[in-house]
Each structure stands twice: as structure tokens, then as C-alpha cells.
Structure 1
């Protein structure tokens, strides 16, 4: 496990800032209890889906260097897990290894994932997802597969009719599952080839614990290799965070609390760069859990870009990079059909919004923060469910000016 290395100068500054707080310099949060992860079926599943998400994000980052990219990994896990129920034992083993399920030793794997999905989609967390398998019309399917998936995950795979109505049908279903937040997941028709299509979507709009007092301020955001751009930002003084600096990764890491046990981690490189390969390579469920226990409490003058984004892609070309090259060559989906059946697409779309609202106000009785944290250059962030450790959302922002819903 990679440990976070805190810079001495940062620790000195941080200690000074803590001394200015209402506690009069007493340590606050050193005795905070943390949930021990990876000891229960649900937390082990949270770690597995997270590590699959980090692997998939690295593959996407490598294929689209120096651009904005985003993923809602747990919805992709859900779709591919549904698909695994249609495979032979060999195919299931290959899929489970890529999904990191081989580490779980959980005979009730599907029940555990179902419970995790229900937990992370509880109303207060701000996450809604959609995951479903669609099958080409000409496949002679086995009805047992439809029944098995529906009984386990509450969503029935669907056979396509073959025509323009299919795209509308998919988009309407995803919109319904996400409360109308994800529209037009498909921008073009699904492939006509004989096979199956995995559809997944994720919408996130969590609420902060501490609200931002100012929002929509147009400020400069530095772009690697280009002129600064003006983007709307949120700002608040004396904002409570957990914070640290990693000298190995040359970045400062901040954890912001959101409601219902969700938090956002922001990884801000020391220099203006869109090359975050080293940082991306460091991400694992264990590393992020280590961060949650070692970052130090502080109050900062925080400036954060307003994020409103929509991002979609076909993840199929990336599956070989997460260990599924052999499986893609022979998907062996014998529980779906006796016909040779391949995976045609893995369409994925995410939508995310941030807003200044929160349940608490930052302190106005103490002096302004001496520590500034301005997210005004390319950064990486992730949203995590603290109870399970599950990765809900991850993104790399190199230019927020071009983000839009």
C-alpha cells in the first residue's frame, strides 16, 4: 500500500491554521473513528468495484490523454455483472477477475452487489444509476437468462426489435431510471451485428455538509499549454476539509465532506499539467482508504470550479486493457444463447452537477483562513461512499470551460 507522505512545511502551516480555530489549538479529529474497510462482504465488494473502476479509468485516461474524462464505475460493474450471468463457468471466471470479484471469496456475490447498489443509491447520497443488457433481435435467446437477471437485480434484459425505435426505447428507460437526469444516452443506433449490448449510466448531485457562500464567480483557470480561461467558481473562507501533500505524486490532496457519508477527494498537482499518469497509476481502493485516515483536518479559503458535465463513450475498446482480451475473443455466453454471441458495445454516460448548498455554514466568528486552496488548474477528483468505500464517480478536469450538460 502506498502511504501518503506529508511535506514538513505543509504540516507546519497546517498546524498554525488549526491553532486559529475555535478550539484554541487543541487537536480536533485525531480521535475520530473510521470505519474499517475490507472486513465485511459489502466493504470487500466496495473495494472490488472501486479497483475495477480505477483500472477502467486508467485505460480511458491512456486512450484519451490530456482531455476531460469521467466515469461512474459502479454502474459499469452492475451491467457487466448482469452479463456474467449469461456466461459459461470459464467466461464467468474471466469476467469476475476483471471485475476484481476473484478477491472476494463470496458465495453470495450477486446478493452482496445488489445490497451495495441499494445502499449507494439511497436518496441522500445523490447517486442514481441505470444498468441493463440489450440483445440483438435475431438471437435465439434462452428465457432462463432473462428470469435469472430480473430476479437478482430487478431489471430484465431486453431483446431489441431492430429499428429506430430501439434507440428511443433505451434512452427512455435510462431517463426513467435516473429521474430524467440522463437524457439521450445513445446518440446513435446500437450495432446491428448479432450480439449483446451493455448499457450503463450514472447521475450524481451530492450535497455538501458545509455550504459555499459565494458561487458563480468568474475566475481564471489555468490550462496546460494554453491561455487561462474564465470559469464559474464557488468560494468559501474557513471551509473545513481534510488535507495533505504527497511529495511522491507532487500534488495536494483535499477531502470535502458531503451529506449521507459521501466525500469528494481532489488531487491538485503542484504545477499546471494535464499529464496525470503518475497520479492515475497510484489510485487503488486501499490507497484512497489510507488517505481517508491520514489526511489532516484544516480550515481553508477554498475556491472550487462549478462542475456541470455530461460525458459519454463506448467502453468496449478499453476492456482488453482491464484483462478481458481473451474473453472478448470468445465471450462464451452459452447461458444467453446456443448461437455464438459477442459483446457489441458497452455504452456509458455520466452526468454530474455541483451546487453551493449545504446543511451547515462555515464559521464567521474566527479570523479568515491563512491557508488557501484554489483549484484553478487541471485536477483529478473522485467521489466515494465512506461506509462501503465504493467509488461512485471519478473524473479528470483539464479545462472546465468546455464542460456542459
Structure 2
């Protein structure tokens, strides 16, 4: 019996200090009815991607030992969706279920057309934020991909096919790491530490984001303050302050504040501050319906906002996470990836994701790489108190053009840089 060869898939992500951008916003002249818009593949795909993002967050939360969390759900879903082009039978069904694709509402073709449009919109050079996302296949010199798979990953995912000599691991490692370093603007250097010579393919997705706040924080308002890790412990942080109008919602049911802090361009961020002792309650309620409710409930109010500077990272074994979410076959000898290459039995040997974020006065910079080795009317709303993010909080970065959750995280300790 032929021994299974290995498909190595790796996933990574990061975010950092923002910079001012002076590009003009670009507006598409498309004039479509609401019904037409709702039937666009990327619009139909958005709910599935949101479901996947929050499902994966809870899985990571359950394994995180109450530490910082930061990852790019879009990077992971894009990488594994690309892989589904070569998956068959139960392997394909498990991947579709794990990625939260409901094939009664979304056809397979629409999934890939949706990601194709997301890539087009995210990479629009006229955007006011710097936002880049792409894919690559590093393929062993002796592997012949099926033309249908190659055509589809190129057409839908704009994947680069890069010939690689995996029999020379140091050379292959250098080629992959140079690619990742370039695409993430130096955020990941020597990311992949080792390669098994049995690898025949490495699939990579990267995403990079650099955005300036619509209203930057003034550096002279930043001062040392306490961030309370819990009831007994605190760390010193640089706390940024603003007294401005923000979209704010007080969710009394979940006992949390939600503040929207927009970037220049069509990208925004939600910062969620649970009351003391209610973090798990808020996390358990993280669903696309909850976020939609917050959006509908926002009121633009003048508040005094305190937000810490922070720089944190996260590293995750996606293979382990997916297996606990019921996606197992693609990692086993029973994997059916027969639609990828000619005359080869393939399985995923490794799937990792790494992300980092850096938030400062002028904005946010983020990047991700996925490498797979994937109310009733009543009295006026009372003015909110000082909303001070001086205890653990949640953060999400959302692209408003595609409704995609670019990054999702929990900041438990802003001073803990490493995961």
C-alpha cells in the first residue's frame, strides 16, 4: 500500500503600529438593488465566515489558559477553503462543516466566488487603508498538480505556484521564510523553523493591515496607568485618552460596553469591555447575531475613552483546534485530497497560525499568514461614564466593504507581548 505523502499547511497573522495614509477613497459606481446585493457571493459568504470566526474563538478560548488571544479568522478560512478545491468525499464534507459553510444556502461555486471577490476588494489599491491579502503554493519539483486544481486556486484565490525543492529543506525553508517576510512587511522573520523532507507542498495565506484612526489619540494625553489583570493584580501601561464622539452601546443583558473606533477608509474596530466577572458571559454570546445587534444599537455620544497601548501575539496549532471541532479526516491517512495532485496520496501534516498586533496613538497595523503544513422609546439615553479599558477586553477588526472579521482577539495583559 502506498504510504501517504504529506501536505503541509501553515497559518500566521499580525498587527502593528498604524501610519497616516493620504490616498483618496475609491468608491465603486455599482448601482444595485438590495436583493441583488444580498445575492452577491461574498455577501452570502459573510455570515458563514462570521460563524466560523466566533466558533474558532471559543475553541481557542477554551485552550488558552486565560491568556491573550489574537488571530485572523479570515486568513484561516481562506487557506482551508482553498484546500477544499482538492478535497473529496467525507474529507470535503468535514471541511465544509468545520468552516461553517451551509451548502443548503451557499453553493460550492459561490464559496470560491465569494473569496475571490473578498480578495479583489481587500487588495483594492485605491483604499485609504493599506490592506493586502494573498495566497501561495510552494510545490515540490517532482509533484504534478491536477490542472483543474491549479486553475481554480489561481482563478479564485490568485495563488502563486512556486516550484520548491523540498528534498533540500534549508533551501525550501529559506524560500518560504523570505516570501512570508516580504509579504508581511518584515513582521515575520524566520517564521517557519523546520520542514520535514517528506513535505511535498506548503500552502500559505497572508494578510497585512495598516490603518490610521479617523481621529488619532494625542500623545500628550497618554500617561502611565494601571491595567487590572484581576481583582488582586495589575500592571503599568501607557493609557491613551480621548474625549470625542464615538458610536457606543451599553449591552445591559451581557453587562458590557461596546465602542466602535473607526479607521480612515472602510475598516473599523469594535472594542468590547465586559463588567468585572462577566468576560465568559460575553465570550459565550459572541455570535454574528450579537454583533449585528450591537451595530443596530449604537448611539453616537461624547465619551471620555481610555485605551491602553498594547502589542501582543498569538500562536496556534490549527490542526489540534480543527480536530477538536470535528475536522479530523484531512489530517489522517484516510484523507481524500485526490483532487490536488496526480498519483499522490496526500494529507495535512501540520496547520499553524501566528498573529501579532500593535496598537498606538495613530492607529493599528495588522498582518496574518496562514501556512498549512489554513429597545422601547423612553427617557433619553444617559451619558455614559468614562469607558476605561483598564481590565481585560475584546477587540475585533472588521472590513466594512466585505463584512469580514479580519482580526479577533482578547487582551488580558497588554504588556505580555508573546503568546
TM-score, normalised to structure 1, is: 0.78
| Residue of structure 2 equivalent to 1:319 | 322
Following the alignment from structure 2 to structure 1, what is the Cα–Cα distance between the partners of residues 68 and 131? Answer: 21
| Residue of structure 2 equivalent to 1:150 | 154
1:264 has 2:269 as partner: yes
Given that 1:304 and 1:375 are in contact with CA atoms closer than 8 Å, whether structure 2 keeps it comes out as: yes
| Residue of structure 1 equivalent to 2:303 | 300
| Residue of structure 1 equivalent to 2:6 | none
**Residue range with higher mean Cα deviation, 67-76 or 204-213:** 204-213
Given that 2:133 and 2:205 are in contact with CA atoms closer than 8 Å, whether structure 1 keeps it comes out as: yes
| Residue of structure 2 equivalent to 1:184 | 190
**Structure whose residues are more often strand by fraction:** 2
Alignment of 1:239-254 (within 5 A): 239-254=244-259
The total of aligned residue pairs comes to 357
Given that 2:87 and 2:337 are in contact with CA atoms closer than 8 Å, whether structure 1 keeps it comes out as: yes
**Residue range with higher mean Cα deviation, 194-203 or 175-184:** 194-203
Cα deviation, 1:276-335, whole Å, max 9, x if unaligned, reads: 333222222232122111122211111101133333333111012333134444320001
Q: C-alpha displacement at 1:128, in angstroms?
A: 3.0
**Residue range with higher mean Cα deviation, 98-107 or 54-63:** 98-107
Cα deviation, 1:218-274, whole Å, max 9, x if unaligned, reads: 21111126521111221111x221222223322222122222122111111111x5x
SS of the residue corresponding to residue 191 of structure 2 reads: coil
| Residue of structure 1 equivalent to 2:27 | none
SS of the residue corresponding to residue 160 of structure 2 reads: coil
User: In structure 2, which of residues 396, 399, 404 is the aligned counterpart of residue 382 of structure 1?
Assistant: 396
Alignment of 1:115-126 (within 5 A): 115-122=117-124, 123-126=127-130
Higher relative contact order, chain-length normalized (CA < 8 Å, sep 6+): 2
Structure 1 residues 270 and 371, CA, compared in 2 at 3 Å: closer, same or farther? same
Given that 1:82 and 1:133 are in contact with CA atoms closer than 8 Å, whether structure 2 keeps it comes out as: no
Segments of 5+ residues of structure 2 without an aligned counterpart are: 1-33, 364-382
1:286 has 2:300 as partner: no
1:331 has 2:332 as partner: no
Given that 1:182 and 1:201 are in contact with CA atoms closer than 8 Å, whether structure 2 keeps it comes out as: no
Cα deviation, 1:137-168, whole Å, max 9, x if unaligned, reads: 77665455334322332223445524122222
| Residue of structure 2 equivalent to 1:233 | 239
Structure 1 residues 288 and 120, CA, compared in 2 at 3 Å: closer, same or farther? farther
Given that 1:240 and 1:300 are in contact with CA atoms closer than 8 Å, whether structure 2 keeps it comes out as: yes
Segments of 5+ residues of structure 1 without an aligned counterpart are: 1-34, 359-368
Given that 1:233 and 1:306 are in contact with CA atoms closer than 8 Å, whether structure 2 keeps it comes out as: yes
Following the alignment from structure 2 to structure 1, what is the Cα–Cα distance between the partners of residues 140 and 279? Answer: 39
SS of the residue corresponding to residue 181 of structure 1 reads: coil
1:371 has 2:385 as partner: yes
Following the alignment from structure 1 to structure 2, what is the Cα–Cα distance between the partners of residues 130 and 351? Answer: 18
Following the alignment from structure 1 to structure 2, what is the Cα–Cα distance between the partners of residues 404 and 170? Answer: 23
| Residue of structure 2 equivalent to 1:24 | none
| Residue of structure 1 equivalent to 2:371 | none
User: In structure 2, which of residues 219, 224, 230 is the aligned counterpart of residue 218 of structure 1?
Assistant: 224
